[in-house]
C-alpha cells in the first residue's frame, strides 16, 4: 500500500494525489523489475492530508452558475415589477380619464360602514354598506319612490373601453 497525500476542500470533497508520497515495498520491487504489476492500493495518512478552506473546482463552478441564475432572476423580477407598475399606472390613468378616479369615503371615528368591504361567500356575494349608500330614493313624477342606481365604475370603464378604436383587439365582453 503506497501512501498518497490528500487535499480536503471546504465543501468536504477530496482529491488524492496520483503519485505516492512514500512508495511501498511492492512498488519498489516493480520499479527494480522484480515484479510484473505495480502497486495499485492507495492509502492515505492523516499527516499527509491537507485541509483547504476553498471549495473544489466543481463546487466553485456550480456556485458560480447558480449565482448567475439568481442574478438573472433578480433582474427579470425587477423588469416585471417595472412593467407591472407601468401597466397599473396606465390603468389608473384610464380610470381617471373616464372620471372614475379612486374615491374613498372619509373615515370617522365609530364609522364602520366606510371600512366594510364586499365579501364573497360560497353561496353568493354580499354587498357592503358603502355600496348601498350609492342608491338613493328619488320621487318620480307619478309620486312613487324609485331607487336611482349610481353608475357602477367597472361597467362605466368597460363601456368607455368598448368605444375606443382598438376595442376589437381587447378581450372585453359587452354584458
Give DSSP secondary structure letters for 61-127: HHHHHHHHHHHHHHHHHHHHHHHHHHHHHHHHHHHHHTT-----PPP-TT--TTT---EE-SS-EE-
C-alpha to C-alpha distances, 48 to 21, 55, 138, nearest whole angstrom = 8, 19, 98
pLDDT digits (tens, 9 = 90+) for 69-82: 999 999 999 999 99
**Is the confidence at residue 7, as pLDDT, over 80?**
yes
Which one is predicted more confidently, 51 or 144? 51
Report helix, strand or coil for 28.
Answer: helix
Domain residue extents for the chain = 2-54, 56-96
Residue with cell 452558475: 65
pTM for the full predicted model: 0.41
**Is the confidence at residue 20, as pLDDT, over 80?**
yes
**Is the confidence at residue 140, as pLDDT, over 90?**
no
Q: Grid coordinates standing for 66?
A: 447558480
Which one is predicted more confidently, 33 or 124? 33
pLDDT bucket at 37, cuts 50 / 70 / 90: confident
Question: d(Cα 116, Cα 111) in Å, to the nearest integer?
Answer: 10
In eight-state DSSP terms, residue 12 is: S
For 28-43, b/e burial (b = at least 16 CB within 10 A) is ebbeeeeeeeebeeee
For the chain, how many residues are written?
175
**Is the confidence at residue 8, as pLDDT, over 60?**
yes
pLDDT digits (tens, 9 = 90+) for 86-104: 888 888 877 777 777 655 4
Q: Grid coordinates standing for 160?
A: 368607455
Amino acid at each position: 500500500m503506497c501512501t498518497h497525500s490528500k487535499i480536503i476542500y471546504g465543501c468536504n470533497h477530496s482529491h488524492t494525489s496520483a503519485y505516492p508520497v512514500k512508495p511501498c515495498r511492492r512498488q519498489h520491487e516493480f520499479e527494480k523489475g522484480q515484479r510484473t504489476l505495480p502497486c495499485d492500493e492507495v492509502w492515505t495518512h492523516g499527516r499527509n492530508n491537507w485541509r483547504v478552506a476553498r471549495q473544489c473546482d466543481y463546487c466553485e463552478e456550480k456556485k458560480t452558475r447558480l449565482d448567475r441564475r439568481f442574478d438573472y432572476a433578480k433582474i427579470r423580477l425587477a423588469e416585471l415589477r417595472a412593467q407591472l407598475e407601468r401597466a397599473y399606472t396606465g390603468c389608473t390613468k384610464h380610470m381617471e380619464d373616464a372620471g372614475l378616479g379612486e374615491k374613498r369615503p372619509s373615515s370617522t371615528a365609530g364609522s364602520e360602514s366606510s371600512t366594510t368591504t364586499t365579501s364573497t361567500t360560497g353561496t353568493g356575494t354580499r354587498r357592503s354598506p358603502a355600496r348601498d349608500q350609492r342608491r338613493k330614493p328619488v320621487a318620480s313624477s307619478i309620486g312613487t319612490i324609485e331607487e336611482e342606481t349610481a353608475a357602477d365604475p367597472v361597467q362605466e370603464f368597460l363601456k368607455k373601453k368598448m368605444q375606443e378604436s382598438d376595442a376589437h383587439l381587447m378581450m372585453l365582453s359587452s354584458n
